[in-house]
A and B are shown apart, each in its own frame.
Chain A
Amino acid sequence: MNITKKLINNKTALICLIIITTIVILGILAPYIAPYDPNKVRIVRKYAAMSSQHWLGCDHLGRDILSRLLYGIRSTLFLSLLTMIITIVVGSLIGLISGYQRGKLDECIMRLCDIMLSFPSQVMILAIVGVLGVGIENVIIANIVVKWAWYSRMIRSSVIKYSRKNYILFSRAIGAPHSFIICRHLLPNVMSELVILATLDTGWVILNISALSFIGLGVQAPTAEWGLMLSEAKNVMTQHPKQMVFPGIAILIVVAAFNMLGDCLRDILDPKDQKHE
């Protein structure tokens, strides 16, 4: 299909994609392009203003903000993506089994999902982090535990929807193996819906990890992380309001880019649209 072509024609999607790719590349190259060591404390440069040496200034310990932002991509974005990937794999696997097998197993899994979904997700995350202890690993675990049920639900319903299609009935009638039906028929169809869900949700996860780092439950100091940077800047909000600007903008741009890309992908991948070419 010419999804790539449509992606290029859709300006918003293209811009979002370029922003995300650039940020990912910057994150990967952080050790080579960051002007300073992100954790090097130079107390003489405390709250230094923007200058040619420190483009975005320095924080309360005199650390270069630009370098910290670049290194922050690694913790903020990459940890969010890691969380997303694990959640999606676990969630869709369970959803696939549930929707494909139906019967008693499906019933059990869905009631379990109901239980998981009946708790407000933030409260659940706080509770899990509270039990397991503070730390980024536990925040990731909590996110997965809270989110898998949501994905399982979505994937299950679309698996059921596609299972009723005639081409899958045909495959079953001629005795095609389950692996064939799942890999060739179900996954490609479900995948397009999954991509949209995942893109829209990445923004949520980034915010969540940043928020938990902000309140001190996620990434721990001195690691550079955007939420944590915001949290440190918050202490001097009145005296040095500029400290909050850059990490705030960074989060805003990434989250907005993911959300808008998700919206565009929904339009692009809509199969009904493809018929009107």
Chain B
Amino acid sequence: MLSVRNLTKRFGTKKVVDGVTMKIQKKKITSFIGPNGAGKSTVLSMISRLILADEGIIHIDDKELSSCKSNDLAKKISILKQSNHINVRLTVRELVSFGRFPYSQGRLTKEDWEYVDEAIHYMELEEMQEKYLDELSGGQRQRAYIAMVIAQNTEYILLDEPLNNLDMKHSVQIMKVLRRLVDELGKTVVIVIHDINFASCYSDYIVALKDGKVVKEGPTDEIIKPSVLKDIYDMDINIEYIDNNKICVFYA
């Protein structure tokens, strides 16, 4: 289990994250929602050690984050940020093979390559695995990055706005993959997401943040309610049931 206690981060004098405490359950999709500047991405970056917390403690499976070796953590938890500009020219297969670095330190064994092939297969990238990343569309590229994370084979997978700049078809595709990762492979997925309808349809648990604090957390059903959403977003949001899914209507 991932647990976070009293997490705080300041940029200058501004508290971006202010005393966040939460527990993230295993084998679930947990979504962080909330308005821009709520500190969602910052919390995710701190959990994945990309940035250091000013205060607070993060535990991964009862071990404190700061006491773990970076390489051991890389086998337990992986993070995919929303902008992934890479300065070197890589093929899809090369990128995915980097996911095995924590295990092989760059010298991939036969077993490592099997993981790479499996990840490529899982994301249905076989046909474009020799293509360079800059030749791919945004959706294909995102799938390649997720394949790399799958090859890394970590229990916890953290994704910062994985649907950013993707069209509906690719967004659904990515969310279905995340769902399968949880249901079939038993991973624990944490995402930052802006589209609350995707959060509503695909996640098990939702943490709502606002002004650096957790305003509400709970199973999806408890969060997707007009009264709760009003607290989070300061706007009236109607909820309709369509095919057993709760759909938020906020366009008009």
Partners in one complex: no
